[in-house]
Structure 1
Amino acid sequence: MQTSRNDIDDMIVHEKMQAALEYQTEAWAGGMADGIEPEIIADAAIAFAMRETIRIHGEMGAEAMLEALKTRMLAGEFSPERTIQ
């Protein structure tokens, strides 16, 4: 079976996403260990992510990302009860 360039690129992006999520999890745990409430950590993470998204993609790009996230959220993708098979 031959792996295409796009498949390899997708695998690299997936691995980077996994690494980024691990960094986020460690930062979250550090904040909790310091007594910061999860709501405050979440708000700070979202605010930082939005600033960076606007810096990289501009306001229109950030708005498009928010719309995509809203669709994914309403579909249950981020639900803590969601099971991945």
Structure 2
Amino acid sequence: MLELPKSELDEIIQAEKKQVALEYHNEAWADGISEGIESEILAETALSTAMIELVRLHGEAHAMEMLDDLRRRVEFGEFRANPTLQ
């Protein structure tokens, strides 16, 4: 039996959780679209819900750091449908 270091196992577990969470979000998104809710409304409410939870769990400073990181990722094109290398 292969034994993984705890940190590597933790990373694998986190990646699996993120994948499952993404699947839940995609399903909820599809349900919203099928109910006639516009993508912009779904996106805004998803971001608002996420920020409320991040502030609750980690405080405003941490949430602002995450927003700054997301801004940089947007600027680098990470979220484009067809990303290009810069």
Same fold (TM over 0.5): yes
Give structure 1 stretches of 5+ with no counterpart: none
Runs of 4+ in structure 1 deviating by more than 2 angstroms, as ranges, are none
Output aligned runs, 1:39-58, within 5 Å: 39-58=40-59
Tell me by how many angstroms 1:61 deviates: 0.7
Q: Which amino acid aligns with 2:65?
A: A
| CA root-mean-square deviation | 1.6
Matched, 1:20 2:15: no
Which residue matches 2:8?
7
Q: Which amino acid aligns with 2:25?
A: Q
SS at match of 2:83: coil
Tell me by how many angstroms 1:2 deviates: 5.8
- Output one character per residue of 1:35-72: Cα deviation in whole Å (capped at 9) or x when no partner: 00100100110110111111011110100110111112
Q: Which amino acid aligns with 1:51?
A: I
- Tell me the distance in 2 between the aligned counterparts of 1:41 and 1:54: 20
- Tell me the distance in 2 between the aligned counterparts of 1:8 and 1:82: 30
Alignment length (residue pairs): 83
Q: Which amino acid aligns with 1:75?
A: F
SS at match of 1:55: helix
**Percent identity of paired positions between Structure 1 and Structure 2:** 45
Give structure 2 stretches of 5+ with no counterpart: none
Tell me by how many angstroms 1:21 deviates: 0.4
- Tell me the distance in 1 between the aligned counterparts of 2:8 and 2:51: 29
